[in-house]
Amino acid sequence: MNNLEITRLVRPMVRDIAPYRSARDEFEDFEAQKIFLDANENPYNTDANRYPDPLQRQLKRVLAKVKGVSDNQILLGNGSDEVLDLIFRTFCEPGHDEVILLPPTYGMYGVLAQLNNVKAVDVPLDENFQLDVAAIMSSVNEKTKLIFVCSPNNPSGNAIPLSQIQSLLEQFSGLVVVDEAYIDFSEGGTAIHFLDEYPRLIICQTFSKAYGLAGIRLGIGFAHSAIIQFFNKIKPPYNINVLTQKKALAALNVTDIVERQVRALIGERQKMEEELLSIRFVKKIYPSDANFLLVLVDDAQKRYNQFLEQGIVVRSRSSLLGCEHTLRITVGTPQENITFINACKTIDQ
């Protein structure tokens, strides 16, 4: 696999387009002590009066160290949503190319496929929410550009074994996108160390879950540097704002806090699972490698409304394939979880 083979998978328009060049692309060393009269900014300091670095170099340097990759293997997006959208727009020709989705899974892949006029072929996960690699491979055709694997999967919570992801990468000649939004809560471990071996792998992570920064909208794509170059070519120039970059840098300096919170949340998840076992309307709790539990109940709509009456908002996932009568419950603080379990007991009378 070389850069040429990646280029072969890219849309012709993306290969050929001349990117917009911003002031900060013309003169890159914006940390230099210069007088900047090139970008029509207001010169008076507000902490955000200057345009951000289009390539977020300082943040990527730190993130690369934390994640054990090179700076040029990283894309940052306005949430994973933007990273996922850029993947579609880089590789999928509207009205022609196809992608494979593995329901029940994260709804955004299907929405983005539709938005980009790309046909999404569904290959359901099995009854344990695991991949059926043979079924996936038999749905691949010459138009199939991407396969989306969510691990740990939302809404089911289970991780997909790395061996299965590897098996897809070995057999499929397009790109495999592994969405690891919940990877910090999983024992299974990240696919990041496959990147050097498999240049057609793209991994998505996010600051929205374990890092506790859903509000700053920061998603991460990890991929071969040749892929990242194409993303950089077509992304909005200033997609990550100054405040977001600062906040993310600060968070990466205190990763021990995040690690402590993750351990606590996993403990709380296990406690919640044990408590739910004694609730009669709970029929099944699916194994989780994430910070939520998918729970099969007797009547999802009824229980949803009862929780709401108790002041607790959960998510019904009943409309998703294979998730009839399920609720998805996020692990909260210890106090919130106690309140939730007490509400379960009250409702269960």
Which chain residues interact with ligand PLP by CB under 6 A? Answer: 79-81, 106, 150, 154, 179, 181, 206, 208-209, 214, 219
* Token pair recorded at residue 225: 């540097």
Residue type, 341: I
Choice between 6 and 208, CB closer to ligand PLP:
208
Residue number with CB closer to ligand PLP (38 or 81) = 81
To ligand PLP, the closest distance from the beta carbon of 287 in angstroms equals: 17
Nearer to ligand PLP, 6 or 59 (CB): 59
Q: Are 222 and 83 in contact (CB under 8 A)?
A: no
Query: Which string of b and e fits 52-83 if b means at least 16 CB within 10 Å?
Result: bbbbbeebbeebbeebebebbbbbbbbbbbbb
DSSP state of 176: E
Smaller CB separation from ligand PLP, 206 or 245:
206
**How far is it, in rounded angstroms, from Cα 51 to Cα 238?**
7
Residue, CB closest to ligand PLP: 79
**Alpha carbon distance 320, 316 (integer Å):** 9
Contact 147, 120 (CB under 8 A): no
At closest approach, how far in Å is the CB of 18 from ligand PLP? Answer: 29
Report in angstroms how near the CB of residue 82 gets to ligand PLP at its nearest: 7
Q: Which residue's CB is nearer to ligand PLP, number 290 or number 347?
A: 290
In order of 68, 207, 319, 345, the CA distances from 112 in angstroms are: 29, 20, 19, 40
Give the nearest distance from C-beta 111 to ligand PLP in angstroms. Answer: 12
Least Cβ distance, residue 2 to ligand PLP (angstroms) = 30
Q: In the bound complex, what is the minimum distance in angstroms from residue 179's beta carbon to ligand PLP? A: 5
How far separated are the first and last CA of the chain, in Å rounded?
A: 61
Distances in Å between the Cα of 223 and the Cα atoms of 177, 208, 261, 296 are 10, 20, 28, 36
Cβ proximity to ligand PLP: between 90 and 205 the closer is 205
Q: Specify the residue, 11 or 217, whose C-beta has the smaller distance to ligand PLP.
A: 217
Nearer CB in complex with ligand PLP: 77/199: 77
Minimum CB–partner distance for residue 157 and ligand PLP (Å): 10
d(CA 91, CA 93): 7
Q: In the 8-state DSSP scheme, what is residue 113?
A: H
10 Å CB burial of residue 293 (0-12, 13-18, 19+) is buried
Q: Which is nearer to ligand PLP, 181 or 201 (CB)?
A: 181
Q: How far is the CB of 269 from ligand PLP (least distance, A)?
A: 15
Strand bridging mode 98-101 / 119-122 = parallel
Whole-angstrom distance, CA of residue 127 vs CA of residue 79: 30
Give min distance, CB of 175 to ligand PLP, in A.
Answer: 17
- Distance, in Å, from the CA atom of 219 to the CA atom of 205, rounded to the nearest integer, reads 6
